[in-house]
């Protein structure tokens, strides 16, 4: 039984540059605000700082758009250089309509513009790309936190995606380390003693959403700690949250 869950913003993280050690920065900032990692804490980290630390930043001034990118851009009123970057980061185009481009990324995510983002980059001519391997990035941060503090802290990497059938965006997990991303209730019983057959809760996504409530993009809060939730044990991978195409009824 969980009594209370706390979501703690980690403030004061500087503008991230390529090569910065995120795990060490997070530990330093947690200490600087009078906190410390506790047993059971979960660190939630924004994709944006992970991408910056990996050097996943592209200057549009250096991008030469293809004819296909120019056609899409003309039809949707977009920058053809931005469209070209989106196409390069995509394995498949899922939908194109009214200037909206939904693709499947090389990492397997289905989202708008392949996760290519112009916000909080610095230069108006630059965009960030998704991390090449968000699970590996989460592994590195988790291991660094453990090396410095001795604490075993699961790590979730997040990004903001839209959702089919719903307005607005929410945080989704795009990388995980040190926990299972799904709590599987199948085989357990509900309050009326019925055996559950299909219930699998995407707890990594739920935790990502909870953390977003304090991760203010304008106030430099790209990291949060979640305290009081007992994460499912195991070394999960983000692919566990991705529905296989053969069971996707909407493609």
- State the pLDDT confidence band at 237, using cuts at 50, 70 and 90: very high
Higher-pLDDT residue of 1 and 138 is 138
pTM of the predicted model as reported, rounded to 2 decimal places: 0.92
Characterise 12 by phi-psi region: left (phi > 0), alpha (psi -120 to 50), beta (else): left
Structure token pair of residue 85: 């970057």
Q: What is the predicted pLDDT for the residue at 131?
A: 96
Q: Give the architecture-level CATH label for domain 6-55+131-241.
A: 2-Layer Sandwich (3.30)
Q: What is the predicted pLDDT for the residue at 250?
A: 77
- Whether residue 116 contacts residue 142, with contact meaning beta carbons closer than 8 Å, is answered with no
Q: What is the predicted pLDDT for the residue at 187?
A: 53
Q: What is the predicted pLDDT for the residue at 23?
A: 97
Q: What is the predicted pLDDT for the residue at 219?
A: 72
Q: What is the predicted pLDDT for the residue at 24?
A: 97
Percent of the chain with pLDDT over 90: 71
Average of pLDDT values for 11-21? 93
Average of pLDDT values for 208-237? 89
Asked whether residue 115 carries a pLDDT value surpassing 70, the answer given is yes
pLDDT tens digits, residue range 165-220?
Answer: 889 999 999 999 999 998 765 555 555 566 555 567 899 999 999 999 999 766 78
Higher-pLDDT residue of 245 and 89 is 89
**For the chain, what are the domain ranges?**
6-55+131-241, 58-127
C-alpha span between 123 and 209 (Å, rounded): 28
Percent of the chain with pLDDT over 70: 92
Q: Give the architecture-level CATH label for domain 58-127.
A: Alpha-Beta Complex (3.90)
Higher-pLDDT residue of 111 and 184 is 111
Q: What is the predicted pLDDT for the residue at 121?
A: 78
């Amino acid at each position: 039984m969980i009594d209370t869950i706390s979501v703690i913003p980690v403030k004061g993280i500087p503008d991230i540059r390529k090569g910065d050690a995120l795990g060490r920065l997070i530990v330093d900032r947690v200490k600087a605000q009078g906190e410390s990692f506790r047993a059971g804490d979960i660190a939630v980290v924004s994709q944006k700082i992970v991408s910056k630390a990996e050097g996943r930043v592209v200057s549009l001034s250096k991008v030469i758009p293809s004819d296909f990118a120019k056609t899409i851009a003309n039809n949707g009123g977009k920058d053809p250089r931005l469209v070209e970057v989106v196409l390069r980061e995509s394995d498949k185009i899922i939908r194109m309509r009214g200037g909206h481009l939904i693709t499947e990324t090389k990492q397997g995510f289905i989202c708008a513009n392949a996760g290519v983002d112009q916000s909080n980059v610095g230069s108006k001519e630059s965009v960030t790309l998704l991390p090449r391997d968000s699970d590996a990035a989460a592994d590195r941060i988790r291991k660094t936190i453990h090396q410095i503090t001795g604490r075993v802290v699961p790590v979730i990497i997040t990004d903001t995606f839209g959702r089919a059938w719903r307005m607005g965006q929410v945080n989704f997990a795009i990388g995980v380390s040190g926990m299972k991303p799904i709590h599987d209730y199948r085989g357990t019983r509900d309050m009326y003693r019925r055996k559950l057959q299909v219930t699998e809760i995407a707890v990594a996504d739920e935790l990502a959403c909870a953390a977003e409530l304090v991760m203010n993009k304008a106030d430099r809060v790209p990291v949060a700690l979640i305290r009081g939730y007992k994460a499912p044990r195991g070394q999960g991978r983000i692919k566990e949250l991705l529905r296989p195409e053969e069971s996707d009824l909407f493609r």
